[in-house]
A = this chain, B = another copy of it.
Amino acid sequence: MGGRGFTPRLDFTSTRPIYLQIVDEVRRAIARGELRPGDRLPSQRDLAVQARVNPNTVQRAYREMELLNMTETVRGEGTFVAQNPVLIRSLRAEMAQEALQQFLQEMRALGFDGSEIRALVDQALTGDGGGGASRG
């Protein structure tokens, strides 16, 4: 063991291509600190088996991440998370802002104003047991 490494959760019913979902999951793992610079990703073949997808799909995802400077690959050795401390550091905040803006845009498209949005978020976080507020 110790070889668990990383396994993306994929949604095969989504309209988003699988190879992009893999990229997204790796990006989240990096943002979360779960994958750190220098860490080795599973081999293309291994990940293909774990995620139940074709090796070619994983290959495409890895190629994409290489182009995005998320990873660095060494032929014959493997694929590693890029050494980009600054980039990594801002990644989490950037992705959060992205999610936030998308959420706000959708809510406003539905005609909700700021106070309503705030109330709904608050309600969801309270009722959902969010924020570590263990509520009796």
Which residues of A are interface residues toward B (Cβ below 8 A)?
15-17, 20, 28, 31-33, 92, 95-96, 99-104, 106-107, 109-118, 120-122, 124-125, 128, 130-133
Query: When the two chains form their complex, are residues B118 and A132 in contact, meaning their CB atoms are under 8 A apart?
Result: no
On chain B, the residues within 8 Å of A128 by CB distance are 104, 114
User: How many copies of the polypeptide does the oligomer hold?
Assistant: 2
Query: When the two chains form their complex, are residues B114 and A130 in contact, meaning their CB atoms are under 8 A apart?
Result: yes
Bound state CA distance, A106 and B99, in angstroms? 7
On chain B, the residues within 8 Å of A112 by CB distance are 96, 131
A91 vs chain B, min Cβ distance (A): 9
A10 vs chain B, min Cβ distance (A): 14
